[in-house]
A and B are shown apart, each in its own frame.
Chain A
Amino acid sequence: MSAAGPLQGARLLGEAARSDAGGKHTSSPVLAVSGLGKAFRQYRSEWQRVVSWFGAPVTPSREHWALREVSFDVAAGSAVGIVGQNGAGKSTLLKLIAGTQRATEGSVQVSGRIAAILELGMGFNQEFTGRQNAIHAAGLMGLSADAIAQAMPDIEAFAEIGGYFDQPVRTYSSGMQMRVAFAVATAFRPDVLIVDEALSVGDAYFQHKSFGRIRAFKEQGTALLFVTHGMADVRALCDRVILLDRGRILRDGVPDEVVDFYNALIARKDNERIAVEQSRGADGWLRTRSGTGEAALIELSLADADSELPVRSARVGQRLALTARVRAHAPIPRLVLGYMLRDRLGHVVWGTNTWHTGQVVDDVRGDQLVVYTLRFTCTLGPGSYSFSPALVSSDTHLVDNYEWTDNALVFDVVNPDQSYFIGSNALDAKFDIRREESR
């Protein structure tokens, strides 16, 4: 595989300046992964491995493919999230692209410079100071001494660890190591930036700051590739999500589609009977339905709580009633209905279920109809929202998942008669203003 050729600092700075000036970036892929596979081989004796390097015909005793037939392109300026369960091959994929591990088959083509933050730290030497480690790591990234010296004040300022920068790294907290590592890895804008869950370490302040820098890079044309378990991060930052399962690409598409499919897949893990189907509505929202089918939602509707007229567009402050009609297809000992209310980006605005509210329906007969009505005041900000109902048997869908539908009901919230505000929450807030005469 051909990893990124290291560039001299001067050229790097030049490139950054050029793309700043140019503003636009082409959509040709900066990263092309084709037919990538990685096998971990075990031999009966390690000496057999040694002779295999010299062409001896030794067959490994065990061969485990952590990744197989993975192909995708990433365009400049796009952000791709890699999701999947533990052991799906996410980290292996990033390591192969970053070049710390070598592929067994297939290739990774990178045009430009690649920077990676893999796990915590960058292999820092605990005895050296933050500054010495920063210089060392920057050198390992192939930067020239001049470029490193030039970037050092910026690295020190971005890390914001004060006097600790000149103390041995062994005195650092893990968050401080992360700060220095991130500051070094992103001192120069790379063409491809790889982040492996590293940003989950550290405080909220630095996370915000890091995401700020990552977004700025992205706007300048850096392609992002990152692994995270935080689905909110994926929805907020990614244009595209790749779902890996047992070393292969299971889904590759827009975030809501893949994330909802992934959630349904997690539920399926314990129950192979669960079927998953996806469809995209005319409104652009994606519906993902999964479940074992003992109970099914036959109707979900939103109406004005007083007039009982159907509502498609709700007003801020309006009293609403959400009605769910659930049909049981088999006897169910305990039926729980849960809701998630999500905004356009997929962030959960509100969610609970009848387990938590102490309203479990016991011993539902095989053909019974259960009608739930949820009354609430629309204290939401203007925008588009969706309800995702789930029919389960306890406080989680991981035990029994009768039916789970993402974005089953979509509605808009408008603000025709209250003072203007932004955000997804209509706080019942009032200004209280008085003048004080200065003496």
Chain B
Amino acid sequence: MIAPNLASAWRYRNFIASSIRSEIRARFARSKLGGLWMIIHPLAQAAIFALVLAGIMSAKLPGMANDRSAYALYLLSGMLGWSLFADIVNRSLTLFVDNANLLKKMSFPRICLPIIAAGSALLNNILLFIAVLAAFAAFGRFPGMTAVWVPLLMLLTLSMGLAIGLLLGVVNVFVRDVGQIVPVALQFGFWLAPIAYTPDIVPGGLRRLVQVNPMTPIVEGYQSALLFDRAPDVSALAWLALTCVLLLVAALTMFRRASPEMVDVL
């Protein structure tokens, strides 16, 4: 059921690769800082949080009570994972609606569109990762060997973002309200993950919500790997990986069932 999708995507691999390249190139062509804006946004957001909250939050970080820079790096670690997830969900959400013109006039494997979106989101995130490493270096801190977990975490974030984004993107073609709800839901998602705060400061009732947020284990994984020099919670990530696989199968199944009707309503 999913194999034909992937097979046709493989035949179009050249097109996918060149589309990702041209998307990145186009970004740089039109503005002075071009694609850098994609990493400036999360960095600026982290800087704002750090300025406002560093005094309060630094003391809460385990084992780093006296380190003023620690909170900034804590923020950056979590933000690295979150921005990849949010980027893919946002792109996938409007993918088919934005490309309506193309879908109506050209015949090509539709699965190429989410793959191109995921590919360019991943490239952006790699740039952000390099910027985050530079920030760590600027504060005189260097992530240890546990940083090798980051690519695996990225892959997990990518597949979860893609699965959720694809599900929402397909439904958004038929029920446009989805496009309005998701940005709000993403705001909640951000604040219900321990990115700008530590899990232990959350009051009891909310703690349950933070725990069920699928982004929580991922964000904590990034923080562990980059800042705390320890391996992420493997069992939590394994469960999450399983969930991701199931979600992806569901998303691709739905995508396949929905695509005959998709162009009819665009």
User: What is A's interface to B at a CB cutoff of 8 Å?
Assistant: 3, 5-6, 40-41, 46-47, 49-50, 53-54, 95, 98-102, 104, 114, 116, 118-119, 121-124, 127-128, 132, 135-137, 139-142, 144-145
Contact = CB atoms under 8 A, between A and B. Distances in A.
Given A123-B102, A141-B106, A142-B15, A136 B264 contact: no
A280 B25 CA distance: 63
Contacts of A124: 101
A100 B30 CA distance: 31
Interface in B1-52: 11-12, 14-15, 18-19, 22, 26, 30
Given A50-B171, A54-B257, A102-B259, A145 B18 contact: yes
A140 B102 contact: yes
Given A46-B175, A123-B102, A123-B103, 14 more contacts: A6-B11, A46-B174, A50-B174, A50-B175, A54-B254, A95-B263, A101-B260, A102-B259, A116-B106, A118-B105, A119-B105, A127-B26, A136-B22, A139-B12
A137 B261 contact: no
B261 A140 contact: no
B106 A140 contact: yes
Contacts of A54: 254, 257
A49 B18 contact: no
Contacts of B258: 50, 53
A76 B174 CA distance: 39
Nearest to B103: A100
Contacts of A100: 103-107, 263
B14 A145 contact: yes
Contact of A136 (B19, B107, B260): B19
B191 interface: no
Nearest to B108: A140
Contacts of A49: 174, 261
A47 B260 CA distance: 16
Given A46-B174, A49-B174, A100-B263, A139 B15 contact: yes
Nearest to B102: A123
B14 A137 contact: no
A1 to B, nearest CB: 10
Given A50-B174, A142-B15, A145-B14, A135 B102 contact: no
B105 A123 contact: yes
A132 B258 CA distance: 30
A123 B175 contact: no
Contacts of A145: 14, 18
Contacts of A141: 106, 108
Contact of B107 (A99, A104, A121, A128): A99
Contacts of A99: 107
Contacts of B175: 46-47, 50
Contacts of A137: 106
17 contacts: A3-B107, A49-B261, A53-B257, A53-B258, A98-B107, A100-B104, A101-B260, A101-B264, A102-B263, A121-B101, A135-B18, A139-B15, A139-B19, A140-B102, A142-B12, A144-B14, A145-B18
A139 B18 contact: yes
B236 to A, nearest CB: 29
A307 to B, nearest CB: 62
Nearest to B12: A142
Contacts of B103: 100, 123
A118 B14 CA distance: 24
Contacts of B30: 127
Nearest to A118: B105
B26 A102 contact: no
B246 to A, nearest CB: 14
Interface string B225-266: 000000000000000000000000000001001111101100
A121 B105 CA distance: 8
A124 B105 CA distance: 10
A102 B103 CA distance: 12
Interface in B95-121: 99, 101-108
A5 B12 CA distance: 11
Contacts of B264: 40, 101
A145 B260 CA distance: 29
Contacts of A50: 171, 174-175, 258
Nearest to A185: B106
